[in-house]
Structure 1
Amino acid sequence: MRTETLEVPTPDGRADAFAAFPDDGGRHPGVLLYPDAFNLRPVLEGMARELAGHGYCVLVPNLFYRHGPAPVVDLPEHIGEDVRSEVIGRVWPLIKEHSTERILRDADAYLGFLGSRPEVADGPVGVVGYCMGAALAMRTAAARPDRVAAVAGFHPGMLVTDASDSPHRLLADLTADVHLGVAEGDLSPEAAAELGEALDAAGVAHDIELYPGTVHGFTMSDTDAFDASALRRHWDRLLALLARTLTAG
């Protein structure tokens, strides 16, 4: 496959990003991949390469590009429980600044970029997110039903909140098929029920699947939360969703 480190023009500047493409000369469906709170780093680049190996053109943006190129916050090679709280403390102000308005401005830029690439097939794209990226993926899919046919979120965060613009309150126009792979403790029973009701009301195919025995962050191999069997399940679910919803070029 072919990979690039590139910049995506946005209304607020230029977002550095990692992209991976199948290297067969064909056109393939696009996938926008939103990182977790620890942002763009080698483990996310590896996920993009994996997806490209299955025939997708993948874009992974630096969520916090307004504060500089990735890594915006210095990260240890392995984010163990002994440093996790301290790292989250440094990332949290960036997360709080990442408003719904910013998210959607950026989403339009990322989707437009994918649509402009000659490697990307005409037709809808998939959007995937991890941790806070799952909320970004859901917001993107709900705001751009004309462009997004699949949305997946793993160990999601901030999908159901008390805010008036909580993602679960904005799904009326959603048309994408949805898979959410949830760690134990990610969603309370009440929050899961509320989210399920919102997805039912939108009339979309969806499942909210508990990944037993996992903790938040289970897909991320550079953290103590990593669970190899849950990562394999994640790939099984994600690849099935994309194959079902996206048209090959």
Structure 2
Amino acid sequence: MENVLENLPLWLPPSGRGPGLVLIQEIFGLDDYLRSVAAELAASGYVVAVPELFWRTAPGWSSTHDEAGVAASMAVMSSFDPALGLSDVLATVAHLRSLPSVTGGVGVLGFCLGGSLAFAAAAEGDPDVAVSFYGSTVAAQIEGLDRIECPIQFHFGGQDPYIPRSDVAVVEAAVAAHPGAEIHVQEDAGHAFHNNVAPMFHHPEAAARAWELTTGFLRRTLPA
């Protein structure tokens, strides 16, 4: 594999055309969960691409969704370069813009690691919309919000053991002063609460609430 666009997984909507979405992975890789999200978004009218972020160091990576899988994925993450990952995301945004099947804009949507990169892509690149689920580095890089011109939506869990509630409060304060940004905190949920194949993380009620907010946000800002 010479670059992230080689063998890029792509999901097309029933019509074969629509706005583009770059779906950005968690540390677990391109797994059944992410594939199901891609398929759902495609069914809603989007052309969805999922860049493989670990192609340089762990090509084809996909782990289990338990303590062992978390440990293995964290080991893979130890050799991950966020700057190169961001360049892969932005390259995928540009690639989608070039496709005849992509009509309208191109957005980014990411979970966990992908949530951090979705925020970074909005701050450093030019997506038309961004959705960031529980990105652990968002609070530390929140000054980047001032550079974001596209609509952006943040999601966090109030009981996240990896992202302190105080960090979420930092994001809340910044969002309150930034037109075009919104944040939703599921106070009863922890980390990765939307991941429906990870029993140790999944919170069905919080996931349903957050996903309804997400799809509504996309309909308003990147209508299919």
Alignment of 1:24-43 (within 5 A): 24-25=15-16, 27-43=17-33
Which residue of structure 2 aligns with residue 19 of structure 1? 10
Deviation at 1:211, TM superposition (A): 1.0
Deviations 1:34-67 (A, max 9, x none): 1111121121011000000111111111111112
Deviation at 1:204, TM superposition (A): 2.8
* TM-score scaled by length of structure 1: 0.79
Judged with a 3 Å threshold, the aligned counterparts in structure 2 of structure 1 residues 16 and 213 are, in CA distance, closer, same or farther, namely farther
Contact 2:28 2:70 in 1 (8 A): no
Deviation at 1:84, TM superposition (A): 4.6
Contact 2:18 2:103 in 1 (8 A): yes
Alignment of 1:117-196 (within 5 A): 117-122=99-104, 124-144=105-125, 147-161=126-140, 166=141, 168-186=142-160, 187-196=163-172
Which residue of structure 1 aligns with residue 219 of structure 2? 243
Contact 2:51 2:89 in 1 (8 A): no
Which structure: greater strand fraction? 1
Aligned residue identity for 2:81:
H
Which residue of structure 1 aligns with residue 186 of structure 2? 211
Structure-1 separation of matches of 2:182 and 2:192: 19
Give % identity: 26
Q: Which moved more, 1:188-197 or 1:112-121?
A: 188-197
Judged with a 3 Å threshold, the aligned counterparts in structure 2 of structure 1 residues 55 and 109 are, in CA distance, closer, same or farther, namely same
Which residue of structure 1 aligns with residue 81 of structure 2? 98
Judged with a 3 Å threshold, the aligned counterparts in structure 2 of structure 1 residues 131 and 244 are, in CA distance, closer, same or farther, namely same
State the Cα RMSD in Å.
2.3
Moved over 4 A (4+): 13-16
Structure 1, unaligned runs of 5 or more: 1-6
Contact 1:35 1:44 in 2 (8 A): yes
Deviations 1:211-240 (A, max 9, x none): 132111111122121122222222211111
Structure-1 separation of matches of 2:184 and 2:223: 25
SS class of match (2:60): coil
Aligned residue identity for 1:241:
F
SS class of match (1:138): helix
Q: 1:66 aligns with which of 56, 75, 88?
A: 56
Deviations 1:3-22 (A, max 9, x none): xxxx8x74xx6555321111
Contact 1:214 1:230 in 2 (8 A): yes
Contact 2:5 2:51 in 1 (8 A): no
Which residue of structure 2 aligns with residue 114 of structure 1? 96
Structure-2 separation of matches of 1:89 and 1:128: 21
Structure-2 separation of matches of 1:39 and 1:121: 28
Judged with a 3 Å threshold, the aligned counterparts in structure 2 of structure 1 residues 227 and 17 are, in CA distance, closer, same or farther, namely farther
Contact 1:17 1:60 in 2 (8 A): yes
Q: 2:196 aligns with which of 221, 225, 234?
A: 221
Deviations 1:50-97 (A, max 9, x none): 0001111111111111124312xx523xx224x255324423313xx3
